[in-house]
Amino acid sequence: MRVLLIIPAYNEEKNIQKVVEKVRAYRSRCDFALDYVVINDGSTDNTKQVCLENGIHHIDLLQNLGIGGAVQTGYLYALREGYDYAVQFDGDGQHDPECLPRLLEPLVAGQADFCIGSRFMQNASAFRSTKLRRVGIRFLSWLIRLLTGTRVTDPTSGFRAANRAVIASFTKDYPSDYPEPESIVHLAREKFRICEVPANMFEREEGTSSIRSWKSLYYMLKVSIAILYAGLQRKTGGKISS
Amino acid sequence: MSTLLRIELTAFAVLALAVVGYTANRKVVQLKYALIWVLIAAGMIITAIFPELAFLVAALVGIETPSNLIFFLSIVSLLGICFSLTIIVSRQEHQIRRLIQLLSIDHYEWKGTDAFSANHPKKEDKV
């Protein structure tokens, strides 16, 4: 079993080394073949230098593509290199590699195609975001359930595992701006089996989240419209092929 | 409608057609995108030479003044062109994104010091 961790990084010079160290430490003692790839999304800080100095496996995007395009690059890489599973893993240190077996278990057992690590299930995580943001996340959950019937407690979670079929689907079509909730809707529409497991998450240590407070309302509006739109679309795979 | 106004309108329409033709000829505008503008310029010339047409069509569809008909048609066609441009931009964004991704994977990957789980990755799935 070969697993690829896709680590998107945009201006994460302070975090990326710590994140990779954690992955390396975990990798040396886990019982499956674990690789990682950092996708440096045209960072304007020293992310690239930090990667070079520390021997970090990375792909430099020629241009900044935004989180969706960066993550999709990882899925393209996973498909090309024939990985069995791909896991999205944030470059800011929020996610815990110790949760990987739990996240992969439903996929390996063939019970699901896509598995999301949730902060909210069984109080899995000490860090659960701010109250206002939780209200927003609740609303998105509700909207996704309304449109697809899929129950997801943490639709904005960026800690997600995909099997080959989902990897292939994501390489064809992956939303660009705030892709997590929207991509869940896409998958549900394509009849992929989605499940959730409790996952521990940490508060980001350095830098700022890509979603700042003054932007949250606009974010909610955009994501809601995107979800609605995705929910009402015809069930199709991707439109582009290469 | 005065003869002077007709001459002015015709001259303007001919100029528009000339600009479109010139840019298409110099490959500044691709022919497939220039076609719609050629049609519009041709329409302008026809209505400038035969304004009776505008009166006739306006009366036919129940619009009181021909100028309103022309405004209406212009706005509709401009909206249509705008929308088709949005479609083109979206498609190009997709294409550019894919191009950057594939190019970056092929030429800007740096393996670093971490050994990989498989020495020779299988290239079975062609992307």
> Which CATH number belongs to the domain containing residue A137 in this structure?
3.90.550.10
What mean pLDDT, rounded, does chain A reach? 87
Band (A93; pLDDT cuts 50, 70, 90)? confident
Out of B94, B104, B112, whose CB is closest to A62?
B104
Q: Compute φ and ψ for B96, nearest 5 degrees.
A: -65, -40
Task: Identify the three-state secondary structure at position A94.
Answer: coil
Specify the pLDDT at position A39: 96
- Could you tell me if A29 and A59 are in contact, meaning their C-beta atoms sit under 8 angstroms apart? no
Q: Which of B103, B118, B125 sits opposite A80 (nearest CB)?
A: B125
Residue of chain A minimizing CA distance to B91:
A240
A95-136 pLDDT, tens digit per residue, is 999 999 999 999 999 999 999 999 888 776 666 667 777 888
Q: With contacts defined as CB-CB under 8 Å, which chain B residues touch A22?
A: none
Reply yes or no on whether the pLDDT at A169 is more than 90.
Answer: yes
Complex prediction ipTM: 0.83
CB-closest option in B95, B105, B116 to A59: B105
pLDDT band at residue B25 under the 50/70/90 scheme: confident
- Residue B95 makes CB contacts below 8 A (sequence gap 6+) with A240
At B93-121, the pLDDT tens digits run: 999 999 999 999 998 888 877 767 654 44
CB contacts, 8 Å: B102 with chain A: 76, 242
Contact B100 A65 (CB under 8 A): yes
In a domain, A238, yes or no: no
Task: Return the number of other C-beta atoms located less than 10 Å from residue A232's C-beta.
Answer: 10
Count: domains in chain A: 1
Does any domain span residue A141? yes
Answer whether residue A242 is part of any domain: no
Q: Report which residue type is found at A49.
A: Q
Alpha-carbon torsion A173, A37, A206, A118, what sign?
A: positive
Range of the domain at A58: 2-232
Lowest mean pLDDT among A23-37, A157-171, B21-35: B21-35
User: Is pLDDT above 50 for A168?
Assistant: yes
Nearest by CB to B127, which of A57, A62, A80? A80
Task: Tell how many helices (H) and how many strands (E) occur in chain A.
Answer: 8, 7
Q: Is residue A64 part of a domain?
A: yes
Give A-chain residues touching B98 at CB under 8 angstroms: 240, 242
Contacts of A34 in chain B (CB under 8 A): 117
Cα distance from A3 to chain B (closest Cα, Å)? 9
pLDDT at A152: 92
Instruction: Say whether A34 and B117 touch across the interface (CB within 8 A).
Output: yes
Neighbour tally for B6: CB within 10 Å = 14
Residue A175 in any domain: the answer is yes
Contacts of A223 (CB under 8 A, 6+ apart): A140, A178, A181, A182
